[in-house]
Amino acid sequence: MNRSLKIFRCTELYTPALEVERTCILVENSRIRELLTPSEAMRIPNAELIDLSGRLVGPGLVDIHCHGAMGSDFADGSTEDISIAAIHHLRKGTTTLLATVGSCTLPEMQQVCTTTRSLMKKIPNLAGVHLEGPYFSLKWFGCHLREMIRNPEREEWSQLEPHGDLIRLVTLAPELPGALEFIRHFTRGGTVFSIGHSNAGWEEIQASIDAGLSHSTHYFCAMPTAHRINRILFPGVQESILMSDRMSTEIIGDGIHVGGRLVEFVYRFKGPQKTALVSDALRGVGCPPGDYAFGPRNGKLCRLLDKPRVGVVPDDPEKLASSAIVLSDALKILGDETKLPLSDLWEMASLTPARILHVDKHKGSIAPGKDADILALAPARTVTEVFVGGKRVSDNKN
């Protein structure tokens, strides 16, 4: 048997488009070599056969906004905490992940970057860091610690430059003093900038797009709508995002932060190519209901409820605070609560976020030349197998 060759035999394959004829995946070493028909696959000698018949098979998921799991938050910064959170999401189908850091101190951000870099060769789904904050509007800081919110001053962000290659995504309020300089400087190194927790107006948003901003964080959440100035109604952040063809967006896929009808609403404007699904997972994912810190362990306390299962701010329980899902849960939840086809939902959770991060050359779809990151679901859309680079990660029986 040729151990470098594997054939994944599938009966229902999403690339993420539904593949009708070439439903077998030929993998050589860690890459996809080609897609084959079942009869073509039978003629490949000495390949290891992995039978995924009866499952829904598609690309591993790409989560660009995920804070933690199993009691650990990426902002904790330790090898143990980052490993625990990343591996939990890997076993649930997220084969590419950004360690997302809530608003905290500069040393805490630096520590997360240092630890993440040291783990990237050991934990295969770790792909970099997403800084969600601390450069936010004081009107829209959500469940982040207020005392951490500040302007993006060059004296501070210049100290993040040694980690520029690792910081793949930054969420900020682009109207803040110094934001445009920060955007221009780091986009030259490949960092993607996203508007979030912002009170920017139309003109400020257009200026930030011209500077390099291209994405928007958790649509509808901590995001103002149209407002009047001298009695004239002007677009807020929500409307500006929908009106701009140069911007992608993301939706927390728990069906709670954004209900099914409103997921369909955003989809009508942006389509699956510019609408990503994210988990925005709280450290309480995989844990019983209770109180959990958002961000570092000294962060703002959030309460994980059971019904509905979601994080809230304890002293204002109508205010949501991150989700309690892994990204693969969104395929089932939104499959049940929307009329969107599985192929589009799968694209929104794999190829679209890979495009947003500019890693779609190797990630996000089942295609020749790409990494053999493969997810298999039961017909009920629960995870059964996960593969990274063609190697089995997990046999889930959930």
Predicted local confidence at residue 315, as pLDDT = 87
Rounded to whole angstroms, the maximal C-alpha distance in the chain is 75
CA angle 19, 20, 22 (to 5 degrees): 75
Q: What are phi and psi of 67, to 5 degrees?
A: -95, -30
**Each residue's pLDDT tens digit, 82-119:** 999 999 999 999 999 999 999 999 999 999 999 999 99
Amino acid at 215: H
**pLDDT category of residue 12 using cuts at 50, 70 and 90:** very high
Q: Are residues 134 and 94 in the same domain?
A: yes
Considering only residues 300 and 243, tell me which one the structure prediction assigns the higher pLDDT: 243
Residue 361 within any structural domain of the chain: no
Domain with 23 in it: what CATH number?
2.30.40.10
Per-residue pLDDT at 397 exceeds 50: no
Q: Are residues 385 and 242 in the same domain?
A: no
Please compute the mean of the pLDDT values over residues 308-329 and round it to a whole number. 93
CA-to-CA distance for 172 and 141, rounded, in angstroms? 10
**Each residue's pLDDT tens digit, 116-136:** 999 999 999 999 999 999 999
**Each residue's pLDDT tens digit, 322-374:** 999 999 999 999 999 999 999 999 999 999 999 999 999 999 999 999 999 99
CA-to-CA distance for 142 and 291, rounded, in angstroms? 17
The structure tokens 């994944």 sit at: 8
Domain with 323 in it: what CATH number?
3.20.20.140
Please compute the mean of the pLDDT values over residues 245-256 and round it to a whole number. 98
DSSP labels, 55-72 = SEEEEPEEEEEE-EETTE
CA-to-CA distance for 285 and 103, rounded, in angstroms? 20
Residue 227 within any structural domain of the chain: yes
Predicted local confidence at residue 2, as pLDDT = 62
Please, which residues bridge with residue 131 across strands? 101, 170
Please compute the mean of the pLDDT values over residues 207-222 and round it to a whole number. 98
**Each residue's pLDDT tens digit, 38-86:** 999 999 988 999 999 999 999 999 999 999 999 999 999 999 999 999 9
**Each residue's pLDDT tens digit, 286-295:** 999 999 999 8
Total domains, the chain: 2
SS3 category, 49: strand
Q: Are residues 51 and 186 in the same domain?
A: no
On the CB side of 177, CA atoms within 13 Å amount to 3
Please compute the mean of the pLDDT values over residues 2-23 and round it to a whole number. 93
Q: Are residues 379 and 255 in the same domain?
A: no
Residue 322 within any structural domain of the chain: yes
Per-residue pLDDT at 225 exceeds 60: yes
Predicted local confidence at residue 394, as pLDDT = 64
Determine the structural domain holding residue 51 and report its residue range. Answer: 2-58+366-395
- Mean pLDDT of the residues in the chain: 96
Per-residue pLDDT at 396 exceeds 60: no
Predicted local confidence at residue 299, as pLDDT = 86
